Structure 1
Amino acid sequence: MKLSGWWKNRSSAGKVELYTRWSFHFFVVLEIMSIGLAALGSGTGKGSAWVPAVLFLTVVAHSVLVGFLSSRSLDWILGRRERPVRLAVFVTVLTAATALGVLGMRAAGLTGDPAAAPALVAGMTCFAGGTLVLCLRKVRQMRYVAPAAAAFAGLAYLAFGLPAAESAGLAVGVLLTCALICSACGFSGWLLDTVYELDRAREVQAQLAVAEERLRFGRDLHDVMGRNLAVIALKSELAVQLARRERPEAVDQMVEVQRIARESQKEVRDVVRGYREANLAVELEGARGVLHAAGMDCLVEYEQGRELPAEAQSALGWVVREATTNVLRHGDARSCVIRLTAGPSGALTLVVENDGAPKAPAGPPGSGLAGLRERLAVLDGTLEAGPVDGGRFRLRAQIPGPAAGPIRELEAQA
């Protein structure tokens, strides 16, 4: 668990980000291994033993700088920092200057292997071009990077008096390779941004669901209380007028106000009870549908046809609702099991267990589990929640037999 926790404890978006970042870090190693070592073993020309070492160190410095730019560009894509414009310009200038320097050394005969210079120019240009794509926002801007890199490489080759055939071949090679790398880098940046956008949309959807439920409750309460309060106000005003005239009907009006107030109180209790109570069967089937829609394998096991009192159904229904919300919002679960069983004494046990257990929170626990414990405590029930072996998280609620009510033994259905 300690060795794999750094991966399992991340969200889906965090995993995609980690994979993307390390892919670009691998580009640094790939550039050094493919181009730097080739330059180091290219041999010397005209007795210049220092040339391979200089070329190797140049490639190392260029690859590290390109990797640093890719990291800053990913931060910009995710909205964590400003666009690294100055760093991108510096990388572009350094790449062009290095390419011209290498071609100048090739023209002067300082490089032993004639093929080393084109390989260095093509490699550094392509890796830099792919990273520069991450600094661009629009696709129509990205598609000009590869042709620009190919044109620069071909014209630079011609500028030093090297053969036109080699110049054309270098330009075509840079065009194809750079286009491939730019496409991969651009897609990686777009995918990372999309994954985080979906993650933010899921959070907003949860917030909107809470807001919609509050509005529904507010509408129900307004519909119940609005008319009754208006009637109470009118009858109270009428009773005041009658009392001032010393009319006996004032007492009848106040009796009517008292009756309407009591009815309003009862209706408010009904609204609140309907809002706070949860039907257990509905919640179990709803949890199955929601988790399946989220792409998880969900197994729900319970006995249909239970004769449960309303208090037990409401308490366990809220446990299912809160547990399902936690599975969706925390961790990175792929499977979930919800099991409701009855013991010999009629005690009820509800277990919700899922993989992808999140890390323990750094701060104090939230109010969700505390509220569930309060609901279960009314029925002498208990609630336990925490990680278990195998990287799973288990929530277990129990209600003793007398509080659970009579249970009819029926065939279990999954």
Structure 2
Amino acid sequence: MTSASMSGTRRDEPAGSLSAERIWGVRNLTRSLIMFGGTVWATAYFIVQHPPMWQSVLAVAWATATAVLGMFTGVLAQRGSPSFPRVFPVLVVVTLGLEAWGGWPWAATVTWATTACGWRRAPRSRPRIAALAVAAGLIALAHGLPVAGALALVVFVLLPGIFAMQTRQSADLVRELQETRRELARLAVVEERNRIARDLHDLVGHSLSVVAVKTELARRLVTAAPERAATELDDIESVVRRALAEVRQAVTNYRQPTLAAEIAGAVSAARSAQIQCTIDIPDTWELPAPVEGLLAWTVREGVTNVLRHSGAAHCWISLELAEQVVSVEIRDDGRGPAGGGAGNGITGLSERAAAFGGQIEVGAPAEGGFRIRVRVPLEAS
């Protein structure tokens, strides 16, 4: 039985997987050669006893048919064919019948049946293999073989079936591992796509919101205060250039926003939109980079919602540092986003927080307005 019959090889499988299948293929081939050798030896042993010619011819034909049927049944077992339950009993009768007719040397042919049974994915394979081996031993005893010899035959018939079962279980395990690896690779691609989608939403959405606010302000100032309008236009150019750089970094996964920069940007954007922004943060902080990145994204998303949807006159940004937990909150006195705030940005932020074991609170507080609050454990990094 070759490795190709054991399981179909794939050109896109890793080299290690193909090596394992080649090893099992060599084992199967070796086992098949041993069984062929045992069948040939039993035939030769029978013929040298000088039986009548018709018995010699019958023995050769019977042994050949047994080997062919044994290979065929083994292939059916490996493929899980529904024909196996009908063919296997025929193989059992043929092999045990040959031993019963010709004598104990023909017990070597019973290994075709135990091997095929070992390849079969069935819960009762072990008892069946043991029963075949014991039956071969009892037939040998009936032909006058000593008990020690019969026991040796039982072991000889038993081992190929056990080895086939172990090989099949190993092959199934490796196949499951290969499928798991392919699934993990697929999930990694999906996760990377989701990451890029979240990053692009946060980056482009925030930057465009700032550009829209500053453009509207510059339009009002272009006649009343040209110098200030020019300043706002310079800010727009800076925002656009920064957005382009961040988009490039998002695609290559090298971008990590900082909390201080996002808070400073939030104050500037709120001022441009004529929204008073109150900051309540510690003088200094030292956070793990992944945690700081999550809080920075929270500030960016919260301020973007304030600029886009709230119609607020005042917003508050606060940062709380505890021994094991850090949290950031963005609150405003506006009407909040339409539909309760469950947009793509909030969904992406929830996914980021969940990845670090954090919690997100979104909704209207008792004092009115809208609030986004994210809490994350420091050890999540």
Which structure has the larger Rg over C-alpha atoms? 2
Asked which structure has the greater RCO (Cα within 8 Å, sep 6+), the reply is 1
- TM-score normalized by the length of structure 1: 0.47
